[in-house]
Amino acid sequence: MLLRHKNIILGISGGIAAYKTPDLVRRLRDEGAEVRVVMTQGASSFVTPLSLEAVSGYSVTSEILDRQTESAMSHIDLARWADVCLIAPATAQIIAKIAHGFADDLLTTLLLATKAPVVICPAMNMHMYQHPAVQHNVAQLQARGCTLVGPAEGVQACGDVGPGRMVEPLDIIQALSQQFEPLILQGKNVLITAGPTQEALDPVRYVSNHSSGKMGFALAEHAARLGATVYLVTGRVHLPTPSGVKRIDVVSAQDMLSAVMDYVDQADLFIGCAAVADYRAADVQPEKIKKSASTLHLELVKNPDIIQTVAALPRKPFTVGFAAETTQCETYAKDKLVSKKLDMIALNNVSQPEQVFGHDDNALDVFWHDGSQSLPRTSKSALALQLLRLISQRCLQ
């Protein structure tokens, strides 16, 4: 129970998902946490302060200019009291305010005054969430070190279907618990590859795959939070760089190998999470290939096997591979573990419709030479943390 005796400020903004917050407070109390609720003016339209006072055991505050409380500068006291600040639900409005440093109510003032980590759970219409302005604000907050949890996908109150739902209370609790994880990777250098590679055919076309990079980025984010110095070598993906992570952008498999070799000598742990193209064009055409026939024949040659190259080094780091398989999954994964001389391999069964590239959740079967463990389906963020715990148990023995 990592939240036991932790002080949590729950900031509630004015979205329909606020109806979930009494249950969230109750579950946080069940974990042993102390919870103080701060509401925006709009939040009270969706949930009453009285219901939140009943489950939290504290009075609910919303006004910064309350003469009875502000005579003692209570907003500063709250900012100092907090071990973590949770904003759930976080509307587009409150996200914009936090991103740009507004302090026009109690909640935003607290967030400027506190040194506690901030966890944000977006909740809004899918089109609002996908708007470039909101995405810019979200990326800015992540770059500043705030943790984003969600949004989840599904049917929304307005009838739209897509990303924008606030994640469920149990998922929020898991994300909060991660803020207090022991620094099991402190002092370690971790090198991670992520995303797809692109292999050029001509100036406008390339061969690639559907990897989103989400798993590799989640691993990098949590490794940094667990105390590691993290180097992330990534193909072309549209994901913000996790806080505290050194990012190296590459395009092709050969680019990725070159970048990996630049950093591998100092790595204690290497995780090959990238979906590296197995083949590239034998000859990249200098001009666009014209559509002149009904068929086109391309000669492809094998790309370097990055993880096998790392595992064969005289002084190799603890090396973890990923296997994305559709048939005979366990057999192929175990074969790769042995043939490539890996220390551990994580199997991703992509034959399952719900476990294809690009999803926000997944499940893994992890194998090493004298054991295995299944990690059930959950968010890629939670899965990354579970995998890093497992790796730590093996490589730090």
Domain spans, the chain: 7-178, 189-395
The answer to whether 7-178 and 189-395 have equal CATH topology is yes
CATH of segment(s) 189-395: 3.40.50.10300
Looking at residue 71, what is its pLDDT? 44
Query: In the block, which residue shows the tokens 């030479």?
Result: 369
> Strand 361-368 to strand 371-379: parallel, antiparallel, or no bridges (unpaired)?
antiparallel
Q: Phi and psi of 183, rounded to 5°?
A: -80, 70
Question: CA-CA distance, 279 to 302, in Å (whole number)?
Answer: 4
Question: CA-CA distance, 223 to 175, in Å (whole number)?
Answer: 15
Question: CA-CA distance, 11 to 53, in Å (whole number)?
Answer: 14
Closest to 188 (Cα-Cα) out of 3, 343, 391, 325: 391
Looking at residue 38, what is its pLDDT? 92
Looking at residue 192, what is its pLDDT? 97
Looking at residue 257, what is its pLDDT? 96
Q: Measuring CA to CA, how many Å separate 317 from each of 147, 173, 307?
A: 29, 33, 11
Q: Which letter does DSSP use for residue 286 in this model?
A: S
Helices (H) and strands (E) in the chain, counts: 14, 19
Exactly one of 158, 273, 329, 395 is catalytic; name it.
158
Looking at residue 105, what is its pLDDT? 87
For residue 217, give the 3-state DSSP assignment. Answer: helix
Q: At what angle do helices 92-99 and 132-143 cross, to 10 degrees?
A: 50
For residue 34, give the 3-state DSSP assignment. Answer: strand
Looking at residue 74, what is its pLDDT? 63
Active site annotation includes 158:
yes
Q: Which letter does DSSP use for residue 167 in this model?
A: P
Looking at residue 23, what is its pLDDT? 92
Query: In the block, which residue shows the tokens 């990303």?
Result: 163
Q: At what angle do helices 106-113 and 92-99 cross, to 10 degrees?
A: 40
Choose the CATH number for 7-178 among 3.30.360.10, 3.40.640.10, 3.40.50.1950, 3.50.50.60: 3.40.50.1950
What would you measure as the largest C-alpha separation in the chain, in angstroms?
82
Looking at residue 207, what is its pLDDT? 87
Closest to 239 (Cα-Cα) out of 175, 323, 143, 363: 143
Cα 251 from chain centroid (whole Å): 22
> Strand 279-281 to strand 300-302: parallel, antiparallel, or no bridges (unpaired)?
antiparallel
Percent helix, strand, coil in the chain, to 5, is 35, 25, 40
Joined together, the tokens standing for residue 126 give 């899918």
Question: Which residues of the chain fall short of a pLDDT of 70?
Answer: 1, 64-75, 156, 158, 351-358, 396-397
> Strand 229-234 to strand 34-39: parallel, antiparallel, or no bridges (unpaired)?
unpaired
Given a contact cutoff of 8 angstroms between Cβ atoms, the answer to whether 125 and 164 are in contact is: yes
Q: Which letter does DSSP use for residue 289 in this model?
A: P
Phi-psi region of 298 (alpha: psi -120 to 50; beta: other; left: phi over 0): beta
Given a contact cutoff of 8 angstroms between Cβ atoms, the answer to whether 156 and 126 are in contact is: yes
Claim: this prediction has a pTM higher than 0.95: no
